[in-house]
Structure 1
Amino acid sequence: MLSFNTFIKDLRTIRAALLLATLLFIAGGVMGWIGTGSLQELLNEQLKGISQISGDLRESSNPQWSFFVFIFLNNSIKSVVIIFLGALFGLLPAIFLLINGAVIGYLIHLSAIQGQDLFTLIVKGLLPHGIIEIPAIIIACAFGIAFGSKVWSTLLAAITRSERRAVVWPAFMRQTLTASFWIVILLFVAAIIESTITFSLLS
């Protein structure tokens, strides 16, 4: 049930949701890059919050351990919760993807405008952990979107009394549990990388 092969097979069953989740994340990145007005203010507030938390963690007695604990718990809890919040018709995972993509897009654009070294930001600051963390978050949101899709299908089946639209919920709920397990594992690895390799590269 929790094997990695089962996890990979389950991903194949939500290919449409995975594609949609990826496109939403990219769309968020584009929105962040060109963001103006109220969107820009929102993203500035997000970055201020991140900067404040980062500063507090750096001042702790063991910054690397503090970063690891915060990053792992923050990402893993949010990712697992967003899967099941997808039951609200898939809206929250979609919003979550747009916001996260927008923050990254805005950060890169802001750094470019300020003349900062984008190589350092992207290759040293994002890629080492992001190559695992970002796909894991997209997968979590994809399962959330799939959850919402199945809720819609169940409602339509009830309204139209169509057996063809009926959803096999036990099988899907098993998939969400398997996905939750492996997403947490992936985010655990990403948190180790971010609190060690990324931390050292940017120090």
Structure 2
Amino acid sequence: MHNENTKEAFRTYIDELIPFVWISLLFFVLSTIAGYAYYTIEPSYALNSLSGLEELAEMLQGLSAFEIMLLIFVNNSVKMFFSILLGFALGIIPFGFLVLNGFILGVFAHYQAVESGTLFVIAGLTPHGIIEIPMLIISSAVGMKIGYVALNTIRSQPADLKGEIIRGIKFYLHWLFPLILLAAIIETFITPVIIYLVAGI
């Protein structure tokens, strides 16, 4: 009975989350297109948005493969966790986090396409990106869902903000957290091999 109740609660949560996932997907795609287009218009200014990636790359220098994997995992998991946790601020932070990452991805993809070719971009982003990007979109959706409940609370409508935050955190720990780890493992140990085999770099 307990297991059935857990499954039903999970299905209910997913049904409630789906509209927010579609919204997150839409804005992620739009922000990625915007970043890609902005590099065409102002490439020098657009590259400033990649400073965070450059800092991360510098941190990775001299580390072992396991340390690289761990750093990538911690970086992504912490950011996505706080994107969810801070959703109570009317969903503004997870929305901003989503749009910023989409924009940066667009700039990065265009820059790498110009420098190394489209094949390099596909080889470098696809292996781990097929997991990491959906996790980014879903975690932002969870945060925005919490933000929606927070808005209802302000409107004095029936809402359980504390319960919604707990639901979001449980969903993150049970489903997103392990997949973020898997994406970090793939990015560290498989993506470089794919880049070498496909792009010869």
Shorter-chain TM range is: 0.7 to 0.9
Q: 2:33 aligns with which of 30, 34, 44?
A: 30
Are the aligned partners of 2:113 and 2:121 in contact in 1 as well (CA < 8 Å)?
A: no
Would you say the 8 A contact 1:68–1:192 is kept in 2?
yes
* Paired residue type of 1:73: V
| Partners of 1:43 and 1:102 within 8 A in 2 | no
Residue identity opposite 1:149 in structure 2: Y
Instruction: Find the aligned partners of 1:140 and 1:173 in 2 and give their Cα distance.
Output: 12
Kept in 2, the 8 Å contact 1:140–1:179? The answer is no
Shift of 1:94: 0.8
- In structure 1, the partner of 2:126 is 127
- Which residue is 1:19 aligned to? 22
Question: 1:175 and 1:39, CA in 2 relative to 1: closer, same or farther beyond 3 A?
Answer: farther
Offset at 1:167? 1.0
Q: Aligned pair in 2 of structure 1 residues 168, 191: CA closer, same or farther (>3 Å)? A: same
Q: Deviations over 1:22-48 (max 9, x none)?
A: 111111101101116998666423423
Query: What is the distance in 1 between the residues matched to 2:11 and 2:27?
Result: 22
Partner of 1:189: 182
Q: Does 1:199 align with 2:192?
A: yes
3-state SS in 1 of match to 2:154: helix
> Aligned partners of 2:8, 2:183: CA distance in 1, in Å?
20
Separation in structure 2 between the aligned mates of residue 145 and residue 34 of structure 1, nearest angstrom: 26
Residue 170 (structure 1) shift = 5.4
Q: What stretches of structure 1 move > 6 A for 4+ residues in a row?
A: 1-5
Are the structure 2 counterparts of residues 44 and 17 from structure 1 closer, same or farther at C-alpha, using a change threshold of 3 Å?
A: same
Change (3 A) 1:195 1:112: closer
Given the alignment, which residue of 47, 50, 53 partners 2:53? Answer: 50
TM value normalised by structure 1? 0.83
Moved more, 85-94 or 4-13: 4-13
The TM-score, its normalising length taken from structure 2, stands at: 0.83
Change (3 A) 1:185 1:8: farther
After superposition, where does 1:81-160 map in structure 2 within 5 Å?
81-114=82-115, 116-122=116-122, 124-157=123-156
List runs of 5+ in structure 1 lacking aligned partners: 158-164
Q: Distance in 2 between matches of 1:112 and 1:180?
A: 33
Shift of 1:10: 2.0
**Does 2:169 correspond to 1:177?**
yes
Query: Could you say if the C-alpha distance between residues 9 and 71 of structure 1 is closer, same or farther in structure 2, counting changes exceeding 3 Å?
Result: farther
Pick closer, same or farther for the CA change 1:93–1:41 going to 2, 3 Å: farther
CA distance 1:81–1:41, change in 2 (3 Å): farther
Shift of 1:52: 4.1
Tell me the residue number matched to 2:199: none
What code does the residue aligned with 1:138 have? I
Structure 2: gaps spanning 5 or more residues: 197-201
Aligned equivalents of 1:186, 1:7: Cα separation in 2: 17
RMSD, matched Cα: 2.7
The amino acid across from 1:179 in the alignment is: F
Report SS of the residue matched to 2:89.
Answer: coil
Cα deviations by residue, 1:77-101 (Å, 9 ceiling, x for unpaired): 1111110111111111111111111
CA contact (8 A) 2:94 2:144 kept: yes
The number of residues matched between the two structures is: 192
CA distance in 1, matches of 2:42, 2:152: 33
